[in-house]
C-alpha cells in the first residue's frame, strides 16, 4: 500500500471511532488495519492514536496529522480530476441515508440517472426516518429535512421544503371551509409526528405571526399515510408538499387558508465535518441540488 492509501485508512479509523469499526467498514481484517496503522506510525516516528484495551483517542500529533491529511487527500482528488483528459471514473460504494418518504418519492430518478452514468458505482441506501450517526455507521452522506444544529457536520442546501394545509373537497363540503385560524377549532386534524401537541404557525399579509394549537384526531410518523387519510375525508393535515403534491395536483386535496404564509424548511446534504469528501459523493450532491433547488418540480402543481 502507498502513502495515500495509508492516509485514507488513517482517516477512516479516526472517523469510524475505532480500528474495529474501520475494519468492518473497509471489509478487511482488524489485524490488517492495526498493522498498517502501526507501520504508518513507525514511518512517521510518532504515535497518532493512543490505544488502550477500552478506548482510543487521537494524540496531539494525530490531531494535526488528521487535519493535514484531509487537505492532502482532497487536493490530490481535485488535481487528478483537473489533469485528466478522460471522464472521471466514479466507482466504489456510496452509502446514503435519507428520510423514508422523500427517498422513495424523489430519489429514484436521481439514483437511476447517476447509476447509469457511473456503471461501476455501487449503492447502499437506507430510507428511514431514524436518526443515523454517519460516523458511527459509516455513511458518507445523509439527506436531512430539518433545522441543522450539529456543528460536527457540514451541509449543502438541496431544496426548499414548503408545506400545505389541506383537506379533501369531500371533507370541506361536509365540515365547511375554514376562513380564519379560529375556525380550525371546529375541525379534525391529522398530525404529522407523535408530539403531545402541535402548533401551527403562520404569517399574515401584514407580516404578523400567528399560532394555533392543533388537537389531533390522528397522529402518525408517515406523511403518505396521513395524506391517504386526508383524501378519504378524515380531516385537515399540515404536510410537506413533496409528499402531498400529486393529490393536490389532481384536486384530491385542496389547500386552505391560503391568505397565510406557511413555514418552510430546507433539505440538506449532510456529511461529517473535515471528512475527505469523495468525488462520487460530491458529484451526487451537485446533481441533486441542480435537480431540485428552490423551485422543485413537486411545487409546480
Same domain, 128 and 204: no
Q: How far apart are CA 167 and CA 171, in angstroms?
A: 7
Same domain, 58 and 96: no
Same domain, 240 and 197: yes
Q: Is 263 part of any domain? A: no
Same domain, 175 and 191: yes
Same domain, 143 and 292: yes
Q: For residue 217, what is its C-alpha cell?
A: 384526531
Per DSSP, the residues of 249-271 read HHTSSEE--TTSBPP-EEEEEEE
Mean pLDDT of the region 264-270:
94
Same domain, 171 and 250: yes
Mean pLDDT of the region 267-288:
85
* pTM of the complete model: 0.74
User: Cα torsion for 122, 128, 129, 130, to the nearest 10°?
Assistant: -80
Same domain, 75 and 147: no
Q: Is 251 part of any domain? A: yes
With a cut of 70, say whether residue 85 has pLDDT above it: no
Same domain, 139 and 210: no
| Per-residue model confidence (pLDDT) at position 227 | 98
Same domain, 227 and 278: no
Domain CATH number, residue 234: 3.40.190.290
Same domain, 150 and 272: yes
With a cut of 60, say whether residue 86 has pLDDT above it: no
Long-range contacts formed by 131-137: CB under 8 A, 24+ apart: 132/97, 134/97, 134/270, 134/271, 134/272, 135/15, 135/16, 135/17, 135/272, 136/16, 136/17, 136/21
Q: Is 262 part of any domain? A: no
Q: Is 260 part of any domain? A: no
Summarised one tens digit per residue, pLDDT across range 161-187 is: 999 999 999 999 999 999 999 999 999
How many domains does the chain divide into?
3
Domain CATH number, residue 276: 3.40.190.10
The answer to whether 92 and 278 have CB atoms below 8 angstroms apart is yes
φ, ψ at 192 (rounded to 5°): -85, 105
Same domain, 106 and 134: yes
Q: How far apart are CA 216 and CA 190, in angstroms?
A: 6
Q: Is 261 part of any domain? A: no
Same domain, 136 and 272: yes
149 or 115, greater pLDDT:
115
| Per-residue model confidence (pLDDT) at position 18 | 83
With a cut of 60, say whether residue 62 has pLDDT above it: yes
Domain, as residue range, for 118: 92-157+268-299
80 or 39, greater pLDDT:
39
| Per-residue model confidence (pLDDT) at position 53 | 61
Amino acid at each position: 500500500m502507498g502513502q495515500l492509501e495509508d492516509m485514507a485508512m488513517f482517516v477512516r479509523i479516526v472517523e469510524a471511532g475505532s480500528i474495529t469499526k474501520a475494519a468492518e467498514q473497509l471489509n478487511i481484517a482488524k489485524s490488517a488495519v492495526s498493522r498498517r496503522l502501526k507501520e504508518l506510525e513507525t514511518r512517521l516516528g510518532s504515535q497518532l492514536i493512543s490505544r488502550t484495551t477500552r478506548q482510543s483517542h487521537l494524540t496531539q500529533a494525530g490531531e494535526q496529522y488528521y487535519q493535514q491529511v484531509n487537505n492532502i487527500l482532497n487536493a490530490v482528488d481535485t488535481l487528478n480530476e483537473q489533469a485528466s483528459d478522460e471522464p472521471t471514473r466514479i466507482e466504489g460504494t456510496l452509502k446514503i441515508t435519507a428520510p423514508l418518504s422523500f427517498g422513495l418519492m424523489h430519489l429514484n430518478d436521481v439514483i437511476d440517472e447517476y447509476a447509469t452514468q457511473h456503471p461501476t458505482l455501487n449503492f447502499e441506501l437506507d430510507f428511514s426516518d431514524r436518526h443515523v450517526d454517519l460516523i458511527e455507521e459509516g455513511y458518507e452522506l445523509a439527506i436531512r429535512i430539518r433545522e441543522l444544529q450539529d456543528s460536527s457536520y457540514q451541509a449543502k442546501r438541496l431544496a426548499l421544503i414548503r408545506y400545505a394545509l389541506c383537506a379533501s373537497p369531500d371533507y370541506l363540503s361536509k365540515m365547511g371551509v375554514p376562513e380564519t385560524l379560529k375556525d380550525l377549532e371546529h375541525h379534525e386534524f391529522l398530525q404529522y409526528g407523535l408530539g403531545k401537541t402541535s402548533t401551527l404557525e403562520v404569517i399574515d399579509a401584514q407580516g404578523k405571526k400567528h399560532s394555533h394549537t392543533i388537537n389531533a384526531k390522528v397522529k402518525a410518523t408517515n406523511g403518505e399515510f396521513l395524506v391517504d387519510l386526508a383524501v378519504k375525508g378524515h380531516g385537515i393535515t399540515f404536510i410537506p408538499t413533496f409528499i402531498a403534491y400529486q393529490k393536490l395536483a389532481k384536486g384530491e386535496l385542496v389547500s386552505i387558508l391560503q391568505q397565510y404564509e406557511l413555514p418552510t424548511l430546507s433539505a440538506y446534504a449532510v456529511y461529517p465535518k473535515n471528512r475527505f469528501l469523495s468525488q462520487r459523493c460530491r458529484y451526487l450532491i451537485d446533481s441533486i441540488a441542480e435537480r431540485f433547488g428552490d423551485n422543485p418540480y413537486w411545487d409546480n402543481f
